Structure 1
Amino acid sequence: MYLATRTIAALTATLAMTAYAPAACATEKPPSVRPPPPKPTVADVIKASKASEWRALDPENTLYMHTAAGRVIIELAPTFAPNHVANIKTMVREGYFDGLAIIRSQDNWVVQWGDPDEKNPRPMKTAKATLKGEFTIPMKNDSAFTRLPDPDGYAPQVGHSNGFPSARDPKTGRAWLAHCYGMVGVGRDNDADSGGGSALYAVIGHAPRHLDRNITVVGRVISGMPMLSTLPRGAGAMGFYDKPEQNVPITSVKVAADVPPAERSRFEVMRTDSASFKAAVEAQRNRGGPWTVVPAGHIDLCNAPIPVREQK
């Protein structure tokens, strides 16, 4: 009883001291959690950018894929996969993809399109069914590389090459495209040289960077990712649709250069070697207030924004 009485008395005194403490002490934030001063956002950087810091898509290396769910625009990367890009454009111009379908949607992974009938695949005309894998290129062929300042777990150096997330290894002298969200790759079997571009996929989930240097990457989706990433997930193995009616028909795929100029899109990509792009990266890397409490001071390759805009 004596100990309990003393404890109650001590608590009463403590509460009394707390009640009369100055109000400022209760509301003042420690310096470590004060929000940083406002800094430019990515939107601010884009608004202030110069026209010379943007580039139009090359019609000869742009694909328009029209599906039952919407239109997808893909920018190809011939610097990194010249043979596959050429082969894919040959397939497109021969009408290979017209009437095929999106056949797979695997959650947090990829959406894939191609021929639903693997047992009786559509024949090629002059395009090749398989090609030697183009997983990397010599670094000397990638002169447009702009390096990011932060370390990466998958490559000694990461950055961007003319609008594509890329990586390189100075010891081996090789460079390659990275499997970031929206990147387009070539499906293959166990044989490294078993792909040719007849089966393509787009990354719709967390970047599967462990695929880097194991699959040929041929470009990235510039427009249409909201549609691709929200397609119903396939219930079959690896997200393949197990019922034919679930496939999303492809009406047509065209090379933009073969489309009348008046019918082409007018998308532009911010030059990744420009001052504005570096500012956009920094705006994500060290976000200012008032919402941000602790800036990261770091940015992952696949979280570095590559601004795209459409000219009306």
Structure 2
Amino acid sequence: MKALLISGLALALALSFASAEAQQKTATAAETKIGWQALPQDNLLYLDTDQGRIVILLAPQFAPDHVKRVKELVKNRFYDGVTFYRVIEGFVAQFGVPEHEWGSRAKLTPMKAEFSWPVRGADPYLLVQRPDLLAEETGFNQGFAVAREQNQEWLVHCPGVVNMARANEPDTAVADIAIMMGQAPRHLDKNMSAFGKVIWGHYAVNRVRRGEATDGGVIGSAAARTVIKQARLGSELAADQQLPLEMLSTNSSEFSQSLAERRSRTHVFYQHKGNGNMDVCYPQVSVRLRKAV
């Protein structure tokens, strides 16, 4: 009888450990699922250029009207065959149709600017720096670097951010899109309607043909420009043409840990550890291809 009791106790303990291990694996899987979020194909803009594929993550939660305009233009094939006609080294790569080349294209109505929006308390905001050099504070909101001041929030012009080109007046953006590259031109913050960012194909952006600085980056000859062969939303593509991309949540413990490590410079390489301050454009939000299950 004693042997049976001991055997039963051992079995119970084994089952208990097995259950605990299973719960731990389930919790770990849940954390992984929360930490990495699949990106909806309807908010991915694929630019297939003669220099490679560029993928832009659109942000309708911040600039809904500009994202709606871009999606409409894509579905109407407006961007198919257009070129990067203004490219300034270390600053911007702008594509669309120069005004003098519009020809038979329909005239589009200029858009009302979406420079900023009221802070929303329910958003999963992560503070990075307070005060910031150019705002009261900066942080991350749903994968995007943002700045906040006086209850207003706006996208920060980190490298890779895209905005809608405009004239001097604020409500004049129409269709041309500019990609920030090489640096963070933060003088454009709250002065341009930013509506997304490049998350894939940065190498292709870096290979876009440049214009001359003396000409304001404008490439006069269409034959000398980088061409967008086609622009499609991910939801328009066949499954085998889509990229199953996922992004590390900026509200995850994994992302917070990476920020802490960058802020404190814990690696043995660093002889000077800094003062703990951080530029919001420094930590990049990781994007990867989703692993097959």
With structure 2 as the length reference, what TM-score do the two structures score?
0.83
Aligned partner of 1:203 in structure 2 is: 180
1:176–1:237 Cα change, 3 Å: same
Aligned counterpart in structure 1 of residue 221 of structure 2, from 229, 232, 243: 243
Q: 1:7-18 to 2 correspondence within 5 Å?
A: none
Corresponding residue SS for 1:113: strand
Equivalent residue number for residue 156 of structure 1 = 136
1:266 to 240, 244, 256: 244
Over 3 Å counting, the alpha-carbon distance change for 1:280 and 1:289 in structure 2 is: closer
Matching residue's letter, 1:152 = D
Summarize the alignment of residues 1-312 of structure 1 with structure 2, pairs less than 5 Å apart.
50-116=32-98, 118-121=100-103, 123-124=105-106, 128-140=108-120, 143-169=123-149, 171=150, 173-196=151-174, 198-235=175-212, 237-296=215-274, 297-312=276-291
**Which one is further off, 296-305 or 69-78?**
296-305
Unaligned runs of 5+ in 1: 1-48
Partner amino acid for 2:147? A
- 1:301 match: secondary structure: coil
- 2: distance between equivalents of 1:80 and 1:246? 35
Deviation per residue, 1:194-213 (Å, 9 max, x gap): 003x1101111220111111
Return the letter of the residue paired with 2:43.
N
Task: Return the alpha-carbon distance in structure 2 between the equivalents of residues 239 and 62 of structure 1.
Answer: 27
Q: How big is the alpha-carbon RMSD for the aligned residues of Structure 1 and Structure 2? A: 1.8
Runs of at least 4 residues off by over 6 Å: none
TM-score normalised by structure 1 residue count: 0.78
Residues 115 and 121 in structure 1, CA contact (< 8 A), matched pair in contact too: no
CA contact (8 A) 1:142 1:175 kept: no
1:119 deviates by: 4.5
Identical-pair percentage? 30
User: CA separation of 1:237/1:177 partners in 2, compared to 1, >3 Å: closer, same or farther?
Assistant: same
- 2:11 matched residue in structure 1: none
Encode CA deviations 1:144-164: one digit per residue, 9 max, x unaligned. Answer: 221114531111121011011
Q: What amino acid does structure 2 have at the position aligned with 1:159?
A: G
Q: 1:120: Cα distance to partner? A: 3.0
Q: In 1, distance between residues paired with 2:158 and 2:44?
A: 19
1:135–1:214 contact (8 Å) kept in structure 2: yes
Secondary structure class of the residue paired with 1:118: helix
Q: Contact 2:79 / 2:96 at 8 angstroms: preserved in 1? A: yes
Larger Rg: 1
CA distance in 2, matches of 1:225, 1:215: 22
Distance 2:101 2:129 in 1: 48
Q: Which runs of 5+ in 2 are unaligned?
A: 1-30
Aligned to 1:13: none
What is the deviation of 1:118? 2.7
The one-letter code matched in structure 2 to 1:93 is K
